[in-house]
């Protein structure tokens, strides 16, 4: 049938008042791989005859074909409810792993029951997959009971790899294990995947996803206020669960402690605020937001050591926590621990390249570090610039300056040189203790000859006039590592 003929057939069926004709046309579209049209037709047939088990089962097949697995199981369950002897609905509900690559809600035994109810037999490979998933799930459950989150994560991943990659409960359990291991970004990413799969109405077994989300949100400042809503959703999904009740109580306590601490902090009552945040940490001792907020209190009170300790705790849990890095760097600067301050400010400079305050703080820390080592710091500057060299005399004078100089040998016609030049500007701001020079080999052939430059871009690093390193066409990472090594 032509595309136009197929379209006309769908239009006629959608206008028909005969549910069997509509279903038959849906079956034709399904066989042709037109699953969207098939779904529309099955929806039409079900609206006219909602008690037809065959229509629900066929709709499930189209949903499976489009990857909407959670909706498919709902349709299969409805078909089985309408006709408990309908073998095809049983078969689709317990469909083989190779066909849909999932075991819904960990119910391996349930899947097997429906497969056997349909009168079908699993082949050896399918049976092995089911057994492997069941084995991994058992090990995961055992690991969860004793708090062995590394093994729980490993077994969860193995079950997913074995075929259960669309189980919302299994993905929620993976997120839970990642959360317990303080891998917050990964946990949040897994929960995002879980939410995309959850298109069916709320199911009690989804409480673990909501519980994990609530815990993650209390560990993430932008999402903190949504934590209680997630925990309350978990309670609605499974109101009898003691685990959910405990999570809801803990989340509410943490949110109250943070809100009270913020109120006291904003009123200038820093000691009381630190106590309030501490009360929250008694409930959730792995909460990076509360540690970071309490660190701010210690900073205001001039207790720099305590501030660093709390920032350390926050960064163990959330390694890229910007606020904790800022507070730790500032506290180290107050204690004149310049090497530690420089290290944190360099990380922040990479994460916040446009932040002038961070750049200035880094420059100050670098200069102070040089001075603390008894090194020459008079030539240091903030937001340095790349000096363009026009002749041999200027080049020799630049190299005679104390400290480290980086010479970039370029050609205006070379594309790689053009790409590296803006990066050199960035480095000059980031490492103000280093003198950056640019030499155009076409305009200064005498310098190029004296320095034996044959390929561009070439970089040479000098210390007090003596060359210490040469790099030909280096990557940005290699160049920056070398600048950092010789510049500090």
Can you give the pLDDT at residue 89? 54
Look at 175-189, 232-246, 314-328, 384-398 and tell me which has the smallest mean pLDDT: 232-246
Take residue 418 and report the two structure tokens written for it. Answer: 């053009």
- Tens of pLDDT, residue by residue over 224-248, are 555 545 545 554 555 555 655 566 5
Radius of gyration of the CA atoms of the chain, in A: 32
- 44 vs 172 pLDDT, higher one: 44
Task: Give Cβ neighbours of residue 343 (< 8 Å, ≥ 6 apart).
Answer: none
- Write down which residue in 242, 263, 284 finishes a domain: 263
Q: How confident is the model at residue 330 (pLDDT cuts 50, 70, 90)?
A: very high
CA distances from 195 to 189, 190, 198, 202, 208 (A): 10, 9, 5, 11, 12
> For residue 235, is it within any domain?
yes
Q: Check residue 455 and give left, alpha or beta (phi > 0: left; psi -120 to 50: alpha).
A: beta
Strand order in the sheet with 466-472: 386-389, 434-440, 404-410, 458-463, 466-472
Give the CATH number, domain containing residue 18.
1.25.40.10
Take residue 438 and report the two structure tokens written for it. Answer: 């640019």
Which whole number is the average pLDDT over 322-339?
A: 95
Task: Give Cβ neighbours of residue 418 (< 8 Å, ≥ 6 apart).
Answer: 412
> For residue 25, is it within any domain?
yes
> For residue 59, is it within any domain?
yes
Which whole number is the average pLDDT over 176-197?
A: 62
Query: 438 with 424: CB under 8 angstroms?
Result: yes
- Write down which residue in 263, 284, 299 finishes a domain: 263
Which whole number is the average pLDDT over 389-408?
A: 88
- Tens of pLDDT, residue by residue over 64-111, are 777 666 677 778 778 778 877 765 655 555 543 333 333 333 344 445
Can you give the pLDDT at residue 233? 57
Query: Residue 478 and residue 484: Cα distance in Å, rounded?
Result: 10
Largest pairwise CA distance in the chain: 96
Q: Is the per-residue pLDDT at 299 higher than 90?
A: yes
Can you give the pLDDT at residue 475? 94
- 60 vs 91 pLDDT, higher one: 60
Can you give the pLDDT at residue 224? 53
Q: Is the per-residue pLDDT at 204 higher than 60?
A: no
> For residue 462, is it within any domain?
yes
> For residue 113, is it within any domain?
no
Q: Identify the bridge partners of residue 458 per DSSP, sorted by sequence position.
A: 409, 472
> For residue 64, is it within any domain?
yes
Can you give the pLDDT at residue 72? 75
Measured in degrees and rounded to the nearest 5, phi and psi for residue 68 equal -95, 75
Q: Is the per-residue pLDDT at 123 higher than 60?
A: no
- Write down which residue in 219, 237, 263 finishes a domain: 263
Residues 74, 79, 82: CA angle, nearest 5 degrees? 125
Q: Could you tell me what percent of the chain has a pLDDT over 70? A: 69
Look at 229-243, 337-351, 408-422 and tell me which has the smallest mean pLDDT: 229-243
Which whole number is the average pLDDT over 104-129?
A: 52
Q: How confident is the model at residue 4 (pLDDT cuts 50, 70, 90)?
A: low
Domain containing residue 244: 202-263
Counting the structural domains of the chain, the total is 3
> For residue 313, is it within any domain?
no
Q: How confident is the model at residue 202 (pLDDT cuts 50, 70, 90)?
A: very low
Can you give the pLDDT at residue 126? 61
> For residue 469, is it within any domain?
yes
Q: Of how many residues is the chain composed?
A: 488
Can you give the pLDDT at residue 105? 36
Give the CATH number, domain containing residue 433.
3.40.30.10
Q: Is the per-residue pLDDT at 314 higher than 80?
A: yes
């Amino acid at each position: 049938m032509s595309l136009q003929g197929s379209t006309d057939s769908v239009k006629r069926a959608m206008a028909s008042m005969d549910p069997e004709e509509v279903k038959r046309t849906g079956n034709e579209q399904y066989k042709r791989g037109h699953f969207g049209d098939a779904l529309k037709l099955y929806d039409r047939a079900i609206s006219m005859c909602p008690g037809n088990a065959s229509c629900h089962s066929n709709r499930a097949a189209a949903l499976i074909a489009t990857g909407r697995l959670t909706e498919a199981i709902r349709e299969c369950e409805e078909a089985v409810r309408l006709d408990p002897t309908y073998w095809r609905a049983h078969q689709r509900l317990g469909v083989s792993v190779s066909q849909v690559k999932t075991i819904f809600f960990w119910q391996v035994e349930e899947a097997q029951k429906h497969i056997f109810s349909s009168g079908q037999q699993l082949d050896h490979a399918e049976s092995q997959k089911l057994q492997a998933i069941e084995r991994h799930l058992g090990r995961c459950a055992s690991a969860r009971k004793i708090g062995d989150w590394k093994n729980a994560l490993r077994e969860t991943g193995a079950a997913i790899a074995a075929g259960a990659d669309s189980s919302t409960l299994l993905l929620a359990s993976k997120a839970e294990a990642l959360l317990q291991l303080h891998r917050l970004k990964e946990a949040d990413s897994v929960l995002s995947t879980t939410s995309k799969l959850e298109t069916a109405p709320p199911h009690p077994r989804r409480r673990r996803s909501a519980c994990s989300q609530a815990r993650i949100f209390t560990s993430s400042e932008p999402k903190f206020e949504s934590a209680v809503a997630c925990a309350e959703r978990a309670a609605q999904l499974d109101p009898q669960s003691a685990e959910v009740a405990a999570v809801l109580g803990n989340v509410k306590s943490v949110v109250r402690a943070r809100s009270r601490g913020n109120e006291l902090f904003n009123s200038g009552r820093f000691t009381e605020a630190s106590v309030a945040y501490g009360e929250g940490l008694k409930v959730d001792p792995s909460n990076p937001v509360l540690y970071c907020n309490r660190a701010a209190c210690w900073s205001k009170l001039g207790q720099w050591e305590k501030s660093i300790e709390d920032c350390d705790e926050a960064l163990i849990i959330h390694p890229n926590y910007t606020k904790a890095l800022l507070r730790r760097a500032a506290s180290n600067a107050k204690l004149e621990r310049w090497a530690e301050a420089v290290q944190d400010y360099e990380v922040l400079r990479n994460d916040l390249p446009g932040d002038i305050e961070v750049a200035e703080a880094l420059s100050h820390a670098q200069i102070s570090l040089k001075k603390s080592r008894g090194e020459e710091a008079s030539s240091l500057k903030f937001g340095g610039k790349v000096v363009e060299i026009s002749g041999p005399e200027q080049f020799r004078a630049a190299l005679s300056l104390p400290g480290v100089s980086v010479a970039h040998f370029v050609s205006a016609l070379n594309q790689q040189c053009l790409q590296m030049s803006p990066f050199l500007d960035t480095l000059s701001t980031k490492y103000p203790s280093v003198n950056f020079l640019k030499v155009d080999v076409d305009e200064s052939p005498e310098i190029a000859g004296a320095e034996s430059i044959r390929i561009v871009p070439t970089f040479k690093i000098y210390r007090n006039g003596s060359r210490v390193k040469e790099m030909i066409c280096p990557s940005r990472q290699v160049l920056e590592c070398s600048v950092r090594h010789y510049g500090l």
